[in-house]
Amino acid sequence: GSFSILGECDAIYGGSAAPILDLVKVKSSLYVTQDISLKSIEVELFVDHPQVQDLAVYIQSPTHTSLLVPTETTSGANYNGTVFSTTGGLPAPGGVDAPYNGEFKPWQNDFNQFEGQQTRGVWRLVVVDNNNNGVEGELQGWNLRLCS
């Protein structure tokens, strides 16, 4: 992944693209090389998929997993730079059709559990297409912001 310095969020890492196929768990991993005093994280998601309600999306740190969006709580197509953070609006974009732009709390609203955890190690974005309906898409990329 790449690294840069941006004010309160010390490190930004970018994850790679991957196809999203029916009933397949897609894992995009990146390695964080530094340990910082973690206060919060932000996850920015770029997904091209015509039926986002088929998808469950998770973020995994070296020590914790958080559900960003469960299957069937959303509808429509695509996550276009959708940000999940502790300071976002309503938990996960439910009740409104995609494409989703803007900032939302993760579904479990548990990003505070990342506070104080080690940042060094493998972080993964996991996308699972839980519907065997022939509708497929692509994880176009994602960004992880580690904030101190």
**pLDDT mean by block of 10 residues, the chain; 148 residues:** 43 80 92 84 91 90 82 79 81 66 76 84 92 94 88
> According to the model, what pLDDT value does residue 5 have?
34
> According to the model, what pLDDT value does residue 16 have?
82
Helix, strand and coil percent figures for the chain, each rounded to 5: 5, 55, 40
> According to the model, what pLDDT value does residue 1 have?
40
Q: How far apart are CA 111 and CA 43, in angstroms?
A: 10
Angular region, 119: left φ>0, alpha ψ -120 to 50, beta rest: alpha
